[in-house]
Amino acid sequence: MISLSMSNDNFINDIHPLVRSFFPGEEIEVSYFPEDKESGSGDSTFRIRITRETALILELSLADISDNDRLRMKNILKCRLYEELSEKTGISLPWGTLTGIRPVRLAMNHLREGFSYEETVEHMESFYLVSPGKSVLASDIAVKELNIIKEVNTPDSFSLYIGIPFCPTTCLYCSFTSNAIGLWKTRVGDYLDCLEMELRLVSELFSGRKPVSIYIGGGTPTTLNEEELKRLFDSVHRLFDLESIREFTVEAGRPDSITKEKLRILKENGADRISVNPQSMNQETLKIIGRQHSAEDTVRAFNDARDVGFDNINMDIILGLPGEGEKEVSHTISEIAKLKPDDLTVHSLAVKRGSRLMEEIERYKVYSNSNTDVMMETAASGAREMGLLPYYLYRQKNMSGNFENTGWARPGKEGIYNILMMEEVHSIPAVGAGTVSKCVHTGNDIRRNGNVKDVGGYISRIDEMLSRKRTLFS
């Protein structure tokens, strides 16, 4: 148990996640203590005390922490806290004081303000204490994203997300809206009815505008059978003008849901980018995380996609999975290199609430935080050897090793939707159970609205989902 005591709650949302980064897997109890007038501490002094059980880890006092320049004061506080915790624990965090999910945006903003690439790298290191390697990575990606956004984003552009919340089985680490397809086979038609109602409304709300990218994700979209896939694509083609679309992605995902006939349907209906996601190429790991396919199934599905004509195939892997170390990661990378994917997304395991992995941790009090610098570098160097370059990046809470998720791609094969979604430069209506729509106005005015996660609730409350969208985008 870590006890975090503070003199006030002005910076709790900044301090709490930073402390958690140094003590992954430990429960953190937050409390507040009154100002000690006798010691001379007044309203201008911000105090922090951190203890483990009864042992003092550190006490920190900073005078003149005020809201007059909140951003500057927040950064001073976080830097001091980081330096003290790093000295006490011997831990250096790769992303320094940063705990948010979009570190690249900070580099992008610096570049937009007219600073050079070199100045941006130095700013990430000095202002946020980011490691040299991650500062370069964030700045490299920021340059690439700015160029892609400039090319594809226009004042009247938007992207469309379609959620298919069904999977063959639910993986151990998954917290997405995912339901075993076997339990919902008789209701898939009802679900597609509701999807079409939402798609029709989006086409009306965005009348006269053309989507620049479409992403069908999940779940696993290819758990739909052939006729269901055809029906979904028919709705999209009937309701939207796809003449100017730059990218149409379908997250085929699970190899045990992919057939050659389904791949042909995707290709014939305009999908030009797909994902075949092994997560690991180690058979024992696949069993542990609840996947019902083999590494050989992944190879078969990938080769089938190439045979059908797909020349932009992404593969996802996860570092830090239970039981995996440097040897297993090296094996996964070497097996994927043989396939020569066009895009490789390297995830660090994030232990999410709602996942079976979190339930196992809470029930048996075990925690696997096995991702390491060596494993990250194995994946990064392997991606470079495949001819892939980093093009987008994001972070999540409770991420193994406090690292990041990075997309690597061949030049010209970057996932456009991934960039537009992460950097929030235009509106993205999202349809289906558990999806979240983003309405981007001028400046930083971004509004969100989500659909209910439960499939049955989504179907029964579809009128409410439609009303929410009208309100958001009207």
Q: What is the pTM of this model?
A: 0.89
The CA distance from 37 to 147, in Å, is 55
All structural domains of the chain with their residue ranges: 2-89, 103-150, 153-468
Predicted confidence at residue 367, as pLDDT, reads 45
Amino acid letter for position 90: G
Cβ(433)–Cβ(451) under 8 Å?
A: yes
Q: What are phi and psi of 444, to 5 degrees?
A: -105, 20
Predicted confidence at residue 445, as pLDDT, reads 87
Question: Could you list the pLDDT tens digit for every one of the 474 residues in the chain?
Answer: 999 999 888 889 999 999 999 998 788 999 998 655 444 444 567 889 999 988 999 998 877 556 567 778 888 899 999 999 999 999 999 999 999 899 999 999 999 999 999 999 999 999 999 999 999 999 999 999 999 999 999 989 999 999 999 987 655 555 555 667 777 788 999 999 999 999 999 999 999 999 999 999 988 999 999 999 999 999 999 999 999 899 999 998 789 899 999 999 999 999 999 999 999 999 988 888 777 789 999 999 999 999 999 999 999 999 988 888 899 999 999 999 999 999 999 998 875 555 545 444 444 344 444 678 899 999 999 999 999 999 999 998 767 668 899 999 999 999 999 999 999 999 999 999 999 999 998 767 899 999 999 999 999 999 999 999 999 998
Q: Which residues pair with 315 in a beta bridge?
A: 344
The tokens for 235 are: 């709705």
CA-based nearest residue to 58, from 27, 105, 18: 18
Judged by phi (left if over 0) then psi (alpha if -120 to 50, else beta), residue 25 lies in left
- Widest CA span of the chain, in angstroms? 77
Run of H or E including 382: helix 373-385
Predicted confidence at residue 451, as pLDDT, reads 97
Cβ(9)–Cβ(32) under 8 Å?
A: yes
Predicted confidence at residue 362, as pLDDT, reads 46
Asked whether the domain spanning 153-468 has the same topology as the one spanning 2-89, the reply is: no
Predicted confidence at residue 352, as pLDDT, reads 54
| DSSP conformational letter for 345 | E
Per-residue H/E/C for 241-258:
CCCCCCEEEEEEECHHHC
CB-CB neighbours of 260 under 10 Å:
14
Predicted confidence at residue 25, as pLDDT, reads 75
Cβ(78)–Cβ(14) under 8 Å?
A: yes
Predicted confidence at residue 407, as pLDDT, reads 97
The CA distance from 302 to 292, in Å, is 17
Predicted confidence at residue 183, as pLDDT, reads 74
The CA distance from 75 to 128, in Å, is 8
Q: Is the domain covering 2-89 a CATH 3.40.30 domain?
A: yes
CA-based nearest residue to 371, from 173, 147, 117, 161: 173
Q: Is 364 exposed, middle or buried (0-12, 13-18, 19+ CB in 10 A)?
A: exposed
Q: Is the domain covering 153-468 a CATH 3.20.20.70 domain?
A: yes
Predicted confidence at residue 321, as pLDDT, reads 86
Predicted confidence at residue 66, as pLDDT, reads 60
CA dist list (Å): 389 to 153, 191, 342, 383, 410 = 22, 38, 10, 7, 6
